[in-house]
Structure 1
Amino acid sequence: MRNALTSSTGIAEPAPGGAQAVVRALSLLSLVGRGGSEGLGLGQLAQASGLSRPTVRRLLLALGTARMVEQDRQTRRYHLGPEAYLLGSFAEHRHGILTHARPSMQRLARDSGDTVLLTIPQDDHTLCLERVEGDFQIRTHALMRGDRKPAGVGAGALALMAALPPAEAEALRRRVAHLTGDLAPALSQDEAAARQQGYALNPGRIVPGSWGLGVAILWPDGRPAAALSIAAIEDRMRPDRRPELIAALQREARIVEGSLAALDIPPDTKAKRRTE
């Protein structure tokens, strides 16, 4: 179920001057990437981006020339191209947090039976990077892979905001207040509780009956890198069950943080360890 606080697409605000075309092209590239294995057609991209079909076609031609996107000859849908894959593989070791978090997500989904989400910060929003389903038959679909929400909306997003310095979190909360509307006071209280407790609880704020628990994953310098969260129906988030889920989330978050910390090992130390 989608709502006004959730968006899976959207072109960034245009920049002044010649940078506008670059911003639009990169935003369009992001939309193509979120099209998944089915890809997206020209009309879909035009509608999602808010750009005219001729503008989208021109940008796609430029991206195609750079091999960043490609068009399926049969379906006429657009997909990420080989150069996008190559660049992504270069960045995977440093920025591919999903690579480090996926084993933890799989363990959490297996052990809890519920849905496990990985959320990352994106300026004044958060992005659901991945979703792993457990085997419990009744699931919540309040947040899907690729969905973007304003900062602080949802258990994972709350955990990310609570991991920021208080002044920075307050400034961020003010910037997104026009997006959260009547939810803003309750979200502020939820964030304060998350900061004190070390985990975030979303008691069905966005979609009634859809609850979540979230824990932040930190970079070695203490900045929030992502958040692991478990989403389930209200009956699966009873007070007597929460401590077990929170402990599991915190344990797996620490494991992912250990993997991220290893990225800062000096190259000569890494080489030495590989030879030991």
Structure 2
Amino acid sequence: MGTQAPLSAASPALAGGAQAVDRALALLAAVGRAPPEGAPLSALAQAAGVAKPTARRLLISLMGAHLVEQDAGTRAYHLGAGAFLLGLRAGRRHDMAEQAADCVARLARDSGDSAFLLVPQGDEVVCLMREEGAYPIRTHALLAGDRNPAGVGAGGIALLAALPPDEAAATLERIAPATAARMGEAAAHLPADVALARERGWALNPGRVVPGSWGVAVPVLWPDGRPAAALTVAAVEARMGPLRQAELVRMMQAEAALIGARLARPLTPGASPAPQPTLRTAKG
């Protein structure tokens, strides 16, 4: 009996297996985005772009791994106990909200304006936290839980600018339709905005997403220099002159360095935090 030839990287079997994994992950992500009452099979299949029989088969596999569960009464799907445990384990390294909560609160208190923590997620940016300052006129262009294409807003620009230039350019090309849908003609400014942010070490959104709503942002870096998050302060245009931009950037850079030091500690227990790259301070 002859030996079976090994599967090549381009073989149909491997390609089909990768496709099944991609579909299962898309379904898992759709379940995670479902409302508290869960989501029915039809909605999940549509969100993942698969046929209902395929969605059902993959959901059964996810339930077998305890990543998804189905309510016996409503038949809606929810994240399972396995997903909760994975989240707890990932949180030891990636709970950025816990690492940055006091920093975001200080920024809101000291600036008087709205302060945010954003994290990259694929080609998108997710707002993890929003803290309100005391100034009575606020911008509501970004809320906790909001998800936007990378590059939308000051935080998204700061995260792209912290990537290697070729990687940032590839991302901008990939998300061009999404940014155009979100920002209209203003999306054409993104490549120049990212390049300027890379040169300065901080990003400015001069009302490109919502007219009159301005923001400044700095990246928070992992020890290897990759962007882990972005700190943003947003305010109405009248409170965002050049001198105040410089003041806010100095405040955010100090908080970003503190978060970066916290992120470095678990990587080398007992060692001093890895030094963070020096970002040039804004000039008035």
Shorter chain as denominator, the TM-score bin is 0.7 to 0.9
Contact conserved, 1:117 with 1:128, CA < 8 A, in 2?
no
SS at match of 1:61: helix
**Structure 2: how far apart are the matches of 1:219 and 1:229?**
17
Instruction: Report the TM-score when normalising by structure 2.
Output: 0.76
C-alpha RMSD of matched pairs (Å): 2.7
Give the corresponding residue for 2:226. 223
Give the corresponding residue for 1:192. 195
> Residues 34-113 of structure 1: matches in 2 within 5 Å?
34-35=33-34, 37-113=36-112
Q: Which of structures 1 and 2 has the larger relative contact order (alpha carbons within 8 angstroms, sep 6+)? A: 1
Q: Which amino acid aligns with 1:141?
A: A
User: What is the CA distance between 1:185 and its match in structure 2?
Assistant: 3.8
**Structure 1: how far apart are the matches of 2:165 and 2:193?**
14
> Residues 100-249 of structure 1: matches in 2 within 5 Å?
100-123=99-122, 125-134=123-132, 136=136, 138-142=138-142, 144-149=144-149, 151-181=150-180, 182-249=185-252
**Structure 2: how far apart are the matches of 1:208 and 1:174?**
24
Q: Which amino acid aligns with 1:154?
A: G
Distance 1:231 1:39, change over 3 A: farther
SS at match of 1:16: helix
Distance 1:57 1:207, change over 3 A: farther
SS at match of 1:229: strand
Give the corresponding residue for 1:26. 25
User: What is the CA distance between 1:113 and its match in structure 2?
Assistant: 4.5
User: What is the CA distance between 1:38 and its match in structure 2?
Assistant: 4.4
SS at match of 1:57: helix
Aligned residues: 252
**Structure 1: how far apart are the matches of 2:26 and 2:146?**
14
User: What is the CA distance between 1:74 and its match in structure 2?
Assistant: 4.9
User: What is the CA distance between 1:32 and its match in structure 2?
Assistant: 1.7
Contact conserved, 1:64 with 1:81, CA < 8 A, in 2?
yes
SS at match of 2:86: helix
Distance 1:74 1:109, change over 3 A: farther
Q: Which amino acid aligns with 2:124?
A: T
Of structures 1 and 2, the larger Rg is shown by 2
Distance 1:74 1:229, change over 3 A: farther
Instruction: Report the TM-score when normalising by structure 1.
Output: 0.78
User: What is the CA distance between 1:220 and its match in structure 2?
Assistant: 1.2
Q: Which amino acid aligns with 1:66?
A: A
User: What is the CA distance between 1:37 and its match in structure 2?
Assistant: 3.8
Q: Deviations over 1:219-275 (max 9, x none)?
A: 112221221112334344344533332222212111110101112214xx37xxxxx
**Structure 2: how far apart are the matches of 1:141 and 1:40?**
28
Distance 1:160 1:53, change over 3 A: same
**Structure 1: how far apart are the matches of 2:107 and 2:24?**
37
Give the corresponding residue for 1:251. 254
Q: Which amino acid aligns with 2:107?
A: L
**Structure 2: how far apart are the matches of 1:148 and 1:31?**
16
Distance 1:59 1:176, change over 3 A: same
Consecutive unaligned residues in structure 2, runs of 5 or more: 1-13, 272-284
Higher mean alpha-carbon deviation, 133-142 vs 74-83, is at 133-142
Contact conserved, 2:161 with 2:194, CA < 8 A, in 1?
yes
Q: Which amino acid aligns with 1:42?
A: L
Consecutive unaligned residues in structure 1, runs of 5 or more: 1-14, 271-276
Contact conserved, 1:164 with 1:223, CA < 8 A, in 2?
yes
SS at match of 2:204: strand
